[in-house]
Amino acid sequence: MTTTTAPRPARGPLGSAGRIIVYAVLIAAAAAILLPFAWMISASLKRNNEVFTIPVQWIPKDFQWRNFADIWDQIPLATYLRNTLFLSTVITFLQVLTGSFAAYGFAKMRFRGRDTLFLAYIATIAVPWQAYMIPQYIMMQKAGLTDTFLSLILLQAFGAFGVFLMRQYYLTIPDELCEAARVDGLSEYGIWARIMLPLSKPALASLALLTFVNTWNDYMGPFIYLTSNDLWTIQLGLRSFVGQFDADYAMMMTGSVLSVLPILVIFLLGQRYFIQGIATSGMKG
C-alpha cells in the first residue's frame, strides 16, 4: 500500500523576497538595540578622555582592563551590589507570592463584584507613579520608614501587572481541576499551592524575571527613600562618578557593565520559561 503526500506549494520569488526583507529588518532592529551596549562595553575599556572621541573609536587602542579592578577601590561596589541583590530578591519573591495568590482569587473563585473589583484594580496601572509619589513618601515618612529597605519593600511588594499576568495564565487552566480538588476536600489554599502553582511555572518565571529586572534597574525609588551611602543600590552608586563639573564616564560604563552581567545571566537561564509564559498568558481572558 502506497501513500501519497500532497505536493508543497512552490515558493515564488515574491515569497523569498519577503522573507529576505523581514530578516533584514529584524537584523537591523537587533543591531540598533545592541549598538548602545556595544558602545558601553567599548567605553568601559577606555580612559576617561577617550570615551567621547569623534569619530567613535569602537575598538580602543589601549585596552584598560584595570578599570574592572580599580572600580572596586573607588566606590564600595560590593555593598551596592549586595543591597541591590537583596532588594531585588525580596521584592521579586513578594510580588510573585502576592500576585499569584490574588490572581487565583480573581480567576478561580466566584464572589460578588469579582470582575468589577479586578477591573478597578487593573485600572491603577494607567495611573502614573508621579501622581501618588508624594503621598507615598509622606506616608512612609510618618511611619518612620524612610532611609530603610522596608519602605521600598512595602511599596513594591504588590503589583497590579503581576496579578493581571497570573490571572490570564490561570484562566487557561481548566476549572474542572479545581472543582475535583474541592470535592476531594482540598481547601482553596491547598488548590492554589498544590495545583495552580505547579501548573503555572512559565508564568511565575516570567513575572519573577520582569520584577527582578525592574527592581534591579530602579533608580527613582532608592533615590527618594535611601539617603545613607551604605544603603545605596548600584544605580545610585554609579552616580558617585558624576561630579559638579565633570564625570568619570569610563568608570561609569565599567560599573554599568558589571551591573548588567547578573541580569544577563538570569535572563539566559530563564529565557525558555519567560517566552513560554508571555506567549501563553494571553490565550484567554
Cα separation, 209 vs 146, whole angstroms? 27
- One domain, residues 107 and 206: yes
Helix (H) or strand (E) holding 23: helix 13-44
Counting as low any pLDDT under 70, the low residues of the chain are: 1-15, 244-245, 273-285
- One domain, residues 164 and 123: yes
Report the domain count for the chain. Answer: 2
Coil, strand or helix: which one is 242?
Answer: strand
**What pLDDT does residue 13 have?**
55
- One domain, residues 101 and 35: no
**What pLDDT does residue 284 have?**
43
- One domain, residues 103 and 135: yes
pTM: 0.83
Return the beta strands (E) in 109-190 as ranges. none
Q: Is residue 51 part of a domain?
A: yes
**What pLDDT does residue 5 have?**
56
Q: Is residue 262 part of a domain?
A: yes
- One domain, residues 64 and 84: no
**What pLDDT does residue 2 have?**
53
**What pLDDT does residue 4 have?**
55
**What pLDDT does residue 87 have?**
95
Residue by residue, what is the 3-state secondary structure of 25-52? HHHHHHHHHHHHHHHHHHHHCCCHHHCC
Q: Which domain holds residue 21?
A: 12-68
The whole-chain average pLDDT of the chain stands at 86
Q: Which residue, 150, 146, 155, is CA-closest to 227?
A: 146
- One domain, residues 185 and 157: yes
- One domain, residues 49 and 170: no
**What pLDDT does residue 277 have?**
59
Please, what sign has the CA dihedral across residues 53, 57, 63, 66?
Answer: positive
Cα separation, 204 vs 101, whole angstroms? 11
Task: Report in angstroms the alpha-carbon separations of 92 from 84, 206, 215.
Answer: 12, 11, 8
Cα separation, 144 vs 140, whole angstroms? 6
CATH of the domain at 163: 1.10.3720.10
Whether 215 and 234 have beta carbons less than 8 Å apart is answered as: no
Residue with cell 515569497: 15
- One domain, residues 95 and 115: yes
- One domain, residues 131 and 255: yes
- One domain, residues 54 and 95: no
Q: Is residue 4 part of a domain?
A: no
